[in-house]
Chain A
Amino acid sequence: MGFEKGLIARWRRLLGVPIRWAIRWTAVYPAVRAFAPFVPIIALWALVAASGLFPPVFFPGPWEVLRAFGTLTYKGILPAYFEDSLVRLVAGVAAGVVLGIPLGVLVGLSRRAHAVCWPVLLFFQAIGDIAWLPLLLIWFGFGLTTMTFVIVYTVLFPIVLNTVLGVRSVPLELTRAAQSLGASRARIVAEVVIPGALPNIVTGLRNGLGYGWRALIAAEMIVGTSGIGFLMFDARRAGQVTEILLGMIVLGLLWYVVDGWLLAPLEDATVRRWGLVAT
């Protein structure tokens, strides 16, 4: 307990205000609780690795991966690649949110926009992000444009489609109540439609982030010159199973951080607080 507290205090000093805020949300115990189920998995992994059933080159144990984490962090490769991937993801999600939410609100509100856009949206949603890669590589080559396109494309659809659903699920009576209290159309959108659609928008955000992250890794494997996806694919070329495993673990961990420090607090502060979703 005391040790834990000391550790937390050290991290706080190290990482400053935004992380401090995040740590407060996660608190100490949920983090421990979230880690506990992984203990047997890691134990099993260590056991199989130690048994010598597979050559260590193909099946390294947890310690090797941890050591690779230390080495790559020390060399600065892992942090740099991680940052590259994260920046791409954040940029893609930001673009997806900026484009997706207004488009979703428009399509959700306007019958005409819905008639025009909905079939098109469904069609292009069905063409997976990766399916665009051959065409994009011919058009834009192995570069940032291709990568940006893939990630924005992937993030956009879950956000748009869920926003549309959310807008359409706002009870008619709430809109009517706002109208009879003198709200203009624009005010109704801001005060009623968007907050009412928020549970679905958060779902869209969650899906968009998840798909986007996956698409980004895939794009980095094919297109990349940096990033976690590139790290893993490059390690394959060198036969470095340890680094591949490390990349996989980083992917999983990042998702936990995004969900626990970003999406869950957002939900707690809004839709859960308002009683729009079951607690």
Chain B
Amino acid sequence: MKTLAIRRLSKTYFDPYAGAHVPATLDVSLDVQQGEFVSIVGPSGCGKTTLLNMIAGFIPPSAGEIVLDGRRVKGPGPDRGVVFQSFALFPWKTVLENVTFGLKMRGVRREERERVGREYVALVGLSGAEGRYPAELSGGMQQRVGVARALANNPDVLLMDEPFASVDAQTRMTLQEELTRIWQARRPTILFVTHDVEEAVFLANRVVVLSRAPGHVVAELSIPLPRPRAWATLVEDSAFKELVAQVLGLVRPT
């Protein structure tokens, strides 16, 4: 079992205006088991993205450690795939070249990586668009490429930073359903950051609630809703509504 263990993680920024060190996250501890789908929710500015950036290795923590599969995280690496809010696709690469980028970096032969790439392009429902450039795709399609690109590299954990925040509401619901379908089919370990409580509950097996800044874990809830999940049914589901209300109460304490 490849577990992701986050131990007492803190990040402090120097704020030149305040002239002081300001904590962004404080003492966050969290364990993610292999094959789990965990959502992290919290009010805006609570350090969710900072937390994810530390796990991805983009920024170093001020204190604490991140251990993945027994190894301490020191920087970015292909064992942690990232899906960005801004998609971050390579504009000069076609859909297929984007999806197979990680495989290319690992030195996988061209035919092999194109075979794998096509499989993942199909998985996210983009068959036929392999040769197109990102600028020719809609936002929703671009993020499908983003998901396929991260998954095709077969990471131990998939880190998703508000990946559906910049697409329209209908597309977002479709993408959320697609993601639960993909998760069920492939069982990747997913850590999903969002400020959208409904999204967090809809997707995950477990929701972690962060407090207002400096963010720390205030609660963890397991989401026992059955799968496959679809908005058409869940939107009327009392268990779903109750869980959403519960998480919302934790995110926005009165």
Chain A residues at the B interface, C-beta cutoff of 8 Å: 171, 173-174, 176-184, 187, 191-192, 195-196, 198, 270, 273-276
Q: Does B61 interact with chain A (Cβ within 8 Å)?
A: no
- Do B136 and A275 touch across chains, with their CB atoms under 8 A apart? yes
Most buried by A among B57, B81, B88, B149: B88
Q: Does B135 interact with chain A (Cβ within 8 Å)?
A: yes
- Do B92 and A195 touch across chains, with their CB atoms under 8 A apart? yes
How many whole Å from A177's CB to the nearest CB in chain B? 4
Supposing A195-B92, A276-B91 touch, asked if A180 and B82 sit within 8 A by C-beta, the answer is: yes
Partner of B102, one of A174, A182, A270, A274: A182
Q: Does B84 interact with chain A (Cβ within 8 Å)?
A: yes
Identify 13 residue pairs between A and B in the complex whose beta-carbon atoms are under 8 Å apart, listed by A's number.
A176-B56, A177-B82, A179-B75, A179-B76, A179-B77, A180-B77, A180-B150, A182-B77, A184-B105, A187-B105, A192-B90, A195-B92, A196-B92
Partner of A274, one of B78, B80, B92: B92
- Do A173 and B88 touch across chains, with their CB atoms under 8 A apart? yes
How many whole Å from B137's CB to the nearest CB in chain A? 10
Most buried by B among A178, A182, A274: A182
How many whole Å from A132's CB to the nearest CB in chain B? 37
Instruction: Give the distance in Å from the alpha carbon of A275 to the alpha carbon of B106 in the complex.
Output: 28
Determine the chain B residues whose CB is within 8 A of the CB of A176 once the complex forms. Answer: 56, 58, 76, 82, 84, 88
- Do B56 and A180 touch across chains, with their CB atoms under 8 A apart? yes
Instruction: Give the distance in Å from the alpha carbon of A273 to the alpha carbon of B134 in the complex.
Output: 10
How many whole Å from A102's CB to the nearest CB in chain B? 19
Q: Does B120 interact with chain A (Cβ within 8 Å)?
A: no
Inter-chain pairs besides A180-B56, A180-B82, 19 sampled, C-beta below 8 Å = A174-B88, A176-B56, A176-B82, A177-B84, A177-B90, A178-B90, A179-B58, A179-B75, A179-B76, A180-B58, A180-B77, A180-B150, A181-B149, A182-B105, A182-B106, A192-B90, A274-B133, A274-B134, A276-B135
Determine the chain B residues whose CB is within 8 A of the CB of A178 once the complex forms. Answer: 90, 101, 105
Partner of B90, one of A174, A270, A273: A174
Q: Does B153 interact with chain A (Cβ within 8 Å)?
A: yes
- Do B90 and A191 touch across chains, with their CB atoms under 8 A apart? yes
Determine the chain B residues whose CB is within 8 A of the CB of A270 once the complex forms. Answer: 92
How many whole Å from B58's CB to the nearest CB in chain A? 5
Q: Does B205 interact with chain A (Cβ within 8 Å)?
A: no
- Do B92 and A181 touch across chains, with their CB atoms under 8 A apart? no
How many whole Å from B74's CB to the nearest CB in chain A? 12
- Do B101 and A180 touch across chains, with their CB atoms under 8 A apart? no
How many whole Å from A103's CB to the nearest CB in chain B? 22
How many whole Å from A38's CB to the nearest CB in chain B? 35
Determine the chain A residues whose CB is within 8 A of the CB of B29 once the complex forms. Answer: none
> Which single residue of chain A is at the shortest CB-CB distance from B58?
A176
Interface residue tally for chain B (C-beta within 8 Å): 28
Partner of A173, one of B81, B86, B149: B86
Instruction: Give the distance in Å from the alpha carbon of A156 to the alpha carbon of B119 in the complex.
Output: 46
How many whole Å from B217's CB to the nearest CB in chain A? 24
> Which single residue of chain A is at the shortest CB-CB distance from B86?
A173
Determine the chain A residues whose CB is within 8 A of the CB of B56 once the complex forms. Answer: 176, 180
Determine the chain B residues whose CB is within 8 A of the CB of A171 once the complex forms. Answer: 86, 88
Q: Mark B93-109, 1 if CB is under 8 A from A, else 0.
A: 00000000110011000
> Which single residue of chain B is at the shortest CB-CB distance from A183?
B105
How many whole Å from B117's CB to the nearest CB in chain A? 13
- Do B78 and A181 touch across chains, with their CB atoms under 8 A apart? yes
Q: Which residues 55-87 in B have Cβ within 8 Å of A in the complex?
A: 56-58, 75-78, 80-82, 84, 86
Supposing A191-B101, A275-B91 touch, asked if A182 and B135 sit within 8 A by C-beta, the answer is: no
Determine the chain A residues whose CB is within 8 A of the CB of B80 once the complex forms. Answer: 180
- Do B86 and A181 touch across chains, with their CB atoms under 8 A apart? no
How many whole Å from B132's CB to the nearest CB in chain A? 11
- Do B105 and A274 touch across chains, with their CB atoms under 8 A apart? no
Determine the chain A residues whose CB is within 8 A of the CB of B92 once the complex forms. Answer: 195-196, 198, 270, 274, 276
How many whole Å from B91's CB to the nearest CB in chain A? 4
> Which single residue of chain B is at the shortest CB-CB distance from A172?
B58
- Do A275 and B133 touch across chains, with their CB atoms under 8 A apart? yes
Determine the chain A residues whose CB is within 8 A of the CB of B76 once the complex forms. Answer: 176, 179-180
Determine the chain B residues whose CB is within 8 A of the CB of A182 once the complex forms. Answer: 77-78, 102, 105-106, 153
Determine the chain A residues whose CB is within 8 A of the CB of B149 once the complex forms. Answer: 177, 181
Partner of A275, one of B84, B86, B135: B135
